[in-house]
Structures are given as C-alpha cells and as structure tokens.
Amino acid sequence: MGSPGPTHNFAAGPATMPPEVLERARASLVDWRGLGHSLLEAPFTCDEFRALMDTTRNQIRTALALPDHYHILFFQGGASAQFSLIPLNLLPPHATAGYVETGHWSARAIEEGQRYGPALVVASSRDTGFDRIPPVSQWTLTEKIRYCHITPNETANGVQFQSDPDCGSIPLVADMTSEFLSRPIDFQHYGMIYAGTQKNLGPTGLVIAIIRDDLLGNARPETPTVFNYQLQLEQHNRINTPLMFAIYLTHLMLDWLETQGGVKAVHIRNRSQSQSVYRVIDEDDFYRCPAISEHRSIMNVCFGIKDAHLTQRFLAEASASGLANLAGHSHSGGLRASLYNAQPDLAVTALTSFMDDFRRRYG
C-alpha cells in the first residue's frame, strides 16, 4: 500500500495544532528570545518569562473582552484537579454547590465535588442518555446554592450549551475546557471559568482559571498553598514554578487566534465545520447522532453507524485514508470528530468525503 498522504487528526484533546505554532514551538527549543539557550532551560524568574506570563494573560483578556473584576490565573493538574480545588477554594464547609449534569465530564465534576459538601444536581439529562442540555428555566435553583457548576461542552457525548445561561444572582462556575476561546462569552453570568488547555490551546496539564474578584479569599484551611486562588493571585502566580512551556504554547496559540480574526471569526468557522459533518450524518439513517439537533456540539461531533458492526471497519479505513483518531470516547463508544479551533477546513472536507464514500460502499 502506498503513502496515505497527509494525516488529518480528529483527536479530542490533545488535538491538532497549526503548523506555524509548532514551528515557533520548535524554534523556542533552540534559542529563546536571544537568551543563548532554549526556553526549556530558562529560569522562570527571568524577565523574559515574567513578560510572557503578563502578555499571555493580556491576550486572554483581550480575546474574551474580559471585564477588569475577573482575574486570570494559571494552575497545574488539568481541569480534573479543579473538580476538587473549586470547592476547596469557593465552597465553605457544609455549604451547597449546584451542578448541571449533561454528560461524562459534568458527572465526573459532581462525583468529585460531593466529596467536599452537598452537591445538588439542579438539572440532569441522564434520563434521555445525555442527548440534550436541560433548559435553565427547569433548573431547581435554590437560594442555598453558592454557585452552579456547568460543563458547557461535553466532549464524550457531544452536546453543548447554545448560550450562556442566566441563573440570576447565583454565579456560574463553568468547565470550558473543550470550548474555551472557541466563541465569545457573556461574562455577567459567570463567577468562574476554567479550562484545561489541551483542546483549543494545545498543552496538557495547564489550567487557565478566570475568577470573579468577590469569590476569592474563602479557601478552606486544607487547600494546598500552590492551589489557593487568592494566594496565587497575591503572589503573581509565582508561588511555585509555572508550566513554562505550556504557557508559551498558549501564548503562541493566542497569537495564532489573532491572525484568524479572534473568537468571533473562529466561532463562525467552528459552526460551519460542524454543520457540514452533521449534514452528512443527517442525510439518511446510515449514520446517527445521539445528540438532539438543537444542542449538538460544534467542537465534538459524536456519531455512530446504524449498523454498529461497521464501526471498526470505518475506523480502520479512515485511518488508512489518513483520518486519525475518530474513535468515540471510551465511555460512549461510536465515533467522534473533534473540530477545535485549529482544525483546518481541508480536514473537514476530507472527513465528509470519506463519510459519503463509506456510506456509498456499505449503505
């Protein structure tokens, strides 16, 4: 068999990155900013790295038009660590946190959150197989809830909030890992937004946390100092050595985002790309999509083949055609095409052509 041609990577995160970002990342492993050595060998206390942290925070603030009373912090441990660190920092002992359950990742947040106090599931789509987002009008919000946790995009089951929900005076805390910087955000509803960077920004382990001023300063005594939001803010996020290379990659991705026209422009492209895949799925009943059409994710198109026996064949032939990482999440099975900001249109066209062709041959 000959060369399969270029590989298109549909992984759910870590995911495909722009070639120009990877090229700059490689260059940083030779000589970074004229220091005479690579970024990996630079002290985090050097002026150049201090400036990089400031620049990266400013880029995030500008890209999202973030109001001044929100702080941007970098943490380690990925979004999963935040499932514990959020109640440790924001929830007094015995106080109640609200959770909206919309799929695998919100369920993980609930499972961990309830170890730190009452976790009230104010809405869930479990009964319908996590195929939709429960409308905010039906959430059982009560005054005792300190904050309401949501997962606006669910990577494993492919549903997504279509707008920023309004919970009145209850601040939203949102795990935006898989949609961060893919769309504009209406911040007035949010107390905290956090995102692991391994989807739209690239590196694993890094978390960007955006926290409203008034929520800070309530950490429980057992909160590890390096994960204390207020203390890291006071000490300029430098209590411990930061994830230097990951922050640099994030900076490069934010540079690239600017060249693409910012979050509004990539949001249009993300919608358009996902629609072209959903269009192929909806054409007849060969493919199927578990999510209802109104709440489908524009980041992770989760789908299946009606004849489930064809799934492995689909994956094998796709792989042979240079379409990689199309298997669904291990908890959901089926197929999944992740279309984060850096997914090129060319990859999406290659995928839809392959899907059409596969149906023609096996339908």
Q: Annotated catalytic sites, by residue?
A: 105, 175, 199
Residue 224 in contact with a copy of itself, rule: CB under 8 A: yes
* x/- letters, 11..30, toward a copy of itself (CB under 8 A): xxxxxxx----x--xx--xx
Is residue 94 a contact point for a copy of itself (CB under 8 A)?
no
Rounded to an integer, what distance in angstroms lies between the CA atom of residue 86 and that of residue 192? 9
Q: How far apart are CA 247 and CA 253, in angstroms?
A: 10
**Contact between 182 and a copy of itself (CB under 8 A)?**
no
Tell me: does residue 198 bind a copy of itself (CB under 8 A): yes
In degrees, rounded to 5, the angle at the alpha carbon of residue 171 between the alpha carbons of residues 86 and 146 is 65
H/E stretch holding 270 reads helix 262-282
Cα 160 from Cα 149, distance rounded (Å): 14
Residue in 70, 105, 227, 314 binding a copy of itself, rule: CB under 8 A: 227
165 or 328, CB closer to a copy of itself? 328
Q: Are 212 and 67 in contact (CB under 8 A)?
A: no
Q: Is 230 in the site for a copy of itself (CB under 8 A)?
A: no
d(CA 68, CA 51): 19
Does residue 83 interact with a copy of itself by CB under 8 A? yes
Helix axes 262-282, 345-362, angle to 10 degrees: 10
192 contacts a copy of itself (rule: CB under 8 A): no
Q: How far apart are CA 297 and CA 293, in angstroms?
A: 9
- Find how far residue 168's CA is from the centre of its chain: 25
Q: Which of 158, 165, 191, 203 binds a copy of itself (CB under 8 A)?
A: 203
95, 141, 233, 239: residue in contact with a copy of itself (rule CB under 8 A) = 239
Residue from 152, 158, 242, 334 binding a copy of itself (CB under 8 A) = 242
User: How far, CA to CA in Å, does 63 sit from each of 57, 115, 161, 171, 182?
Assistant: 10, 35, 20, 22, 10
- Which of 128, 241, 349, 353 is the binder for a copy of itself (CB under 8 A)? 241
Residue position matching structure tokens 């290659």? 350
| Biggest CA-to-CA distance, the chain | 64
Within residues 122-161, the interface with a copy of itself by CB under 8 A covers none
Contact between 43 and a copy of itself per CB under 8 A: yes
Q: Which is nearer to a copy of itself, 61 or 220 (CB)?
A: 220
Distance from C-alpha of 61 to C-alpha of 79, rounded to nearest angstrom? 20
- The least CB distance from residue 18 to a copy of itself, in Å, is 10
* Residue 65 engages a copy of itself in binding (rule: CB under 8 A): no
**Judged by CB under 8 A, does residue 273 bind a copy of itself?**
no
Q: Is 118 in the site for a copy of itself (CB under 8 A)?
A: no
Q: Tokens in use for 59? A: 């880029």
Q: Residues binding a copy of itself: what is the number (CB under 8 A)?
A: 66
Is 196 near a copy of itself (CB under 8 A)? yes
Site stretch for a copy of itself (CB under 8 A), options 50-58, 149-157, 184-192, 197-205: 197-205
Applying CB under 8 A, does 245 fall inside the site for a copy of itself? Answer: yes
Task: Report whether the peptide linkage leading into residue 14 is cis, meaning its omega lies within 30 degrees of zero.
Answer: yes
CB of 333 to a copy of itself, least distance (A): 14
Is residue 77 near a copy of itself by the rule CB under 8 A? yes
Binding marks (x or -) toward a copy of itself, 307..336, rule CB under 8 A? ---------------x-xx----x------
| 99 vs 167: CA distance, rounded Å | 12
Using left for φ > 0, alpha for ψ between -120 and 50, and beta otherwise, residue 205 falls in left
Residue with token string 């640099």: 248
| Contact predicate 154/129, CB 8 Å | no
Q: How many CA atoms lie within 13 A of 68 on its CB side?
A: 0
Residues that bind a copy of itself (CB under 8 A): 4, 6-7, 9, 11-17, 22, 25-26, 29-30, 35-38, 40-46, 76-81, 83-85, 88, 112, 115-116, 196, 198, 202-205, 220-222, 224-227, 239-246, 249, 322, 324-325, 330
